[in-house]
Structure 1
Amino acid sequence: MTERKPRKDAARNKAAVFEAADELFARCESPEAVTMADIAAAAGVGKATLFRAFGDREGLIGALVEARLEPVREAVETGPPPLGPGTAPLLRVPALLDAILCFKYDNRHLAVALEGAGGNSPYRAGHYGGWHSTLRTLLEQIPGLGESDFTAHALLAATRADLVEHLAGALDTPRERLRAQLAAFTARVLGAGHPEGAGEADGGSA
């Protein structure tokens, strides 16, 4: 029993921290304004507890994003179509990009904070390498496309958190319109290498 209580306390504290951080980032004017002290106070834990558990602000944000992205990862790894294994790449690529876009749209300030934590470079964010690798592997399976590494970077650039924040926040673009625009863009990119698949890719990402 003496060993279980600290683990239960740690799990409870972690859940409280994540919930507090979610709310603070959702309500903030600027992601940079949310501090470790703010999160600790909102969660009802000591600031030292945060640093022991997550190392620093970047570590906390990264852990929170990983936890919130877990359903998307599970869908990609073991889920049904169109995200899951066994789906044709021309359908799976736009579905993956749509899932990433939706996550960033729904968690805009959190995503901006994560992608700005690594020296203001989204390419150093913890999730980027994994998504790029997954997308590149799928693109390599599309005949005639070519340049899968660069194409993966270019497609992911359309889901950058700062771009999503600009379109959704500054320009007030509705979520569904952004999804449709990304689907059309993705279809054009995939269709350039595989013309007969362009219509199929567009229809599979709605």
Structure 2
Amino acid sequence: MGRERSDASRNRAKILDAAAGIVALHGVQGLSMAEVAAAAGVGVGTLYRRFGDRSGLAYALIDERERAFQSAFIEGPPPLGPGAEPALRIRAFLHALTDRTMAQLDLLLMAETSGTFARFGGAYDAYHAHLTMLVGRLRPELDAACVADALLAPLAAPLLAYRVRECGVGIERVRSALDALLDGILA
């Protein structure tokens, strides 16, 4: 893939700044392609060509924090990064993913519900591969891929939003439940 043209790069930065500003002021509900285009000083067509739709724009807003999170669990310091025992890494990963999801819950909720399988691919695949590898090291007799799905399921943005916002479940209770699930796997 070639380098991005400088004008395209500037437009992307303007668009993402405008979108982040709108989300900060009005929440994700206020994020419309027309308003973002107007705030960024670009045509709506440019926005649609670049991002596809609102969920594509949401993913672009999520991207920077996502890259930092993935870097932390792939090459950062232990226990999240390499160097700690698999059980400690899994627990650290699940706690960090809980925090990461809560930090951008509305954007993730929009992105993950844009289509039937919108949650899967990209970041999910990276999380899944990471957990599959760690579970496989820890408990080789288990179906590590299915266990990884089970560990990730409670952190789906729609479920987490429902539990936290509609049911009043505190985030510490979510972490405790993930710990209990992990303890069951380790037993």
TM-score category (smaller protein): 0.7 to 0.9
1:116 Cα shift? 0.8
In the alignment, which of 191, 194, 205 is matched to residue 183 of structure 2?
Answer: 191
Q: For residues 35-54 of structure 1, give each alpha carbon's deviation from its aligned partner in whole angstroms, at most 9, with x where no partner exists.
A: 32122223332212212322
Corresponding position of 2:164: 168
Q: For residues 73-124 of structure 1, give each alpha carbon's deviation from its aligned partner in whole angstroms, at most 9, with x where no partner exists.
A: 11112110121112211111121122222122111110011101123x4543
Question: Does the alignment pair 1:101 with 2:101?
Answer: no
Question: Does the alignment pair 1:143 with 2:139?
Answer: yes
| Kept after mapping to 1: 8 A contact 2:111/2:119 | no
The structure, 1 or 2, with the larger RCO (C-alpha pairs under 8 Å, 6+ apart) is 1
SS in structure 1 at match of 2:80? coil
1:132 Cα shift? 1.2
Corresponding position of 1:204: none
Question: Does the alignment pair 1:130 with 2:126?
Answer: yes
Corresponding position of 2:174: 182
Q: Which runs of 5+ in 2 are unaligned?
A: none
Counterpart of 1:38, as a letter, is E
In the alignment, which of 21, 24, 27 is matched to residue 22 of structure 2?
Answer: 24
Alpha-carbon separation, structure 1, partners of 2:44 and 2:67? 26
SS in structure 2 at match of 1:83? coil
Counterpart of 2:11, as a letter, is N
Counterpart of 2:149, as a letter, is H
| Kept after mapping to 2: 8 A contact 1:62/1:114 | yes
| Kept after mapping to 2: 8 A contact 1:76/1:83 | yes
SS in structure 1 at match of 2:137? coil
Q: For residues 3-48 of structure 1, give each alpha carbon's deviation from its aligned partner in whole angstroms, at most 9, with x where no partner exists.
A: x9x51x33332223223323434555664x6332122223332212
Counterpart of 1:160, as a letter, is A
Alpha-carbon separation, structure 2, partners of 1:20 and 1:43? 5
Q: How many residues align?
A: 184
> TM-score by structure 1 length?
0.75
| Kept after mapping to 2: 8 A contact 1:145/1:190 | no
Corresponding position of 2:13: 15
1:125 Cα shift? 5.2
> TM-score by structure 2 length?
0.82
Rate the CA distance shift 1:156–1:28 in 2: closer, same or farther, 3 A. Answer: farther
Alpha-carbon separation, structure 2, partners of 1:171 and 1:188? 20
Counterpart of 2:104, as a letter, is N
Rate the CA distance shift 1:79–1:188 in 2: closer, same or farther, 3 A. Answer: same
Rate the CA distance shift 1:183–1:12 in 2: closer, same or farther, 3 A. Answer: same
Identity in percent: 33
1:152 Cα shift? 1.1
1:71 Cα shift? 0.7
Corresponding position of 2:107: 110
| Kept after mapping to 2: 8 A contact 1:139/1:145 | no
